[in-house]
Amino acid sequence: MIRNLRPVTSSTTFVAADVRRLGSRTKGFSLVELLVVLAVIALLAGLLGPALSRARHAALGARCVSNLRQLGIASHLYWDDSGGKAFPERFGREGEGWRYWFGWLQDGAEGQRRFEADRGALWPYLSGRGVDLCPSFQKSGDRFKFKAQGGAFGYAYNLMMGPRGRDPIALSQVRDPSGLAVLVDAAQVNDFQEPATPERPMIEEFYYFGTNRMEATIHFRHGDRAQVVFADGHVGMERALEGSLDHRVPPHRIGRLDPARVVP
């Protein structure tokens, strides 16, 4: 016997009905709500931007400290192997260039000279390159001029420790090793070598510092301070000697150290 069967309602019919009921109860964001959300996002971005910038600069500064600490250790190893004497700022003429404390630099046009770091005084005590360029010194833009083919060295050496034409000092002569700067963040303003001109001075690497009032060669690139490794091996921060800053290539702050930090 065949029983009467009620028609089966498709499940899709119920789903469609549920969607219609849900849609009738759901509303989109109003214009005011969207504007509030956008305002909150903009506020958060404004708060996070400076914090991220500070964190980036702190990380670059920490890498610079690490570079100088390793260069300081290499300097001490050189002194130990050289009877307690410092290395000269410039060793002398070799081939078609000069051998300096940081390496050999060929004669020639700015930005085209060959540079050989493995002929520098500290090379035997370093595991290759990597600690010789400060990450905070950005070598880009139309106001930066290369000395060699690519970056050579980002730090300068105390000329009073290894003066030209005289023997380097003995470390036993240093009255206060904790106050004598050995290597420091460096750069100078150049207005006399192409492509730089007196009307358009440019910033470049530089490799020594001293007490000459005519030479501003220390780069205060970490805020308004420079990183320094001292003769006792510690790394510290120093401000520019008052009145010494060269303001020709803003925002770079290039000047001199207090002579008390330079004279052995």
- Report the 3 state secondary structure along 104-170: EEECCCCCCECEEHHHCCCHHHCCCCCCCCCCCCCCCCCCECCCECECCCCEEEECCCCCCCCCCCE
Separation of alpha carbons 118 and 124, rounded Å: 8
Nearest Cα residue to 217 out of 206, 201, 227 = 206
pLDDT at 58: 67
For 86-141, the pLDDT digits (tens) are 999 999 999 999 999 999 999 999 999 999 999 999 999 998 888 999 998 888 78
Cβ–Cβ < 8 Å for 115, 132: no
pLDDT at 1: 44
**Regions in the chain scoring below 50 on pLDDT:** 1-3, 5, 8-17, 19, 22, 24
Nearest Cα residue to 161 out of 262, 91, 246, 74 = 262
pLDDT at 144: 95
Separation of alpha carbons 19 and 209, rounded Å: 78
Separation of alpha carbons 27 and 33, rounded Å: 12
pLDDT at 156: 98
Residues forming a β-bridge with 85: 170
Burial (CB < 10 A; 0-12, 13-18, 19+), residue 263, is middle
For 211-226, the pLDDT digits (tens) are 999 999 999 999 899 9
Q: How far is CA 157 from the centre of its chain?
A: 17
Separation of alpha carbons 38 and 9, rounded Å: 46
User: What does the DSSP 8-state code read for residue 103?
Assistant: E
Residue 87: C-alpha distances to residues 213, 230, 250 (Å): 24, 15, 34
Structure tokens at 168: 């380097």
pLDDT at 56: 66
Residue by residue, what is the 3-state secondary structure of 182-250? EEEEECEEECCCCCCCCCCCEEECCCEECCCCCCCCEECCECCEEEEEECCCCEEEEECCCCCCECCCC
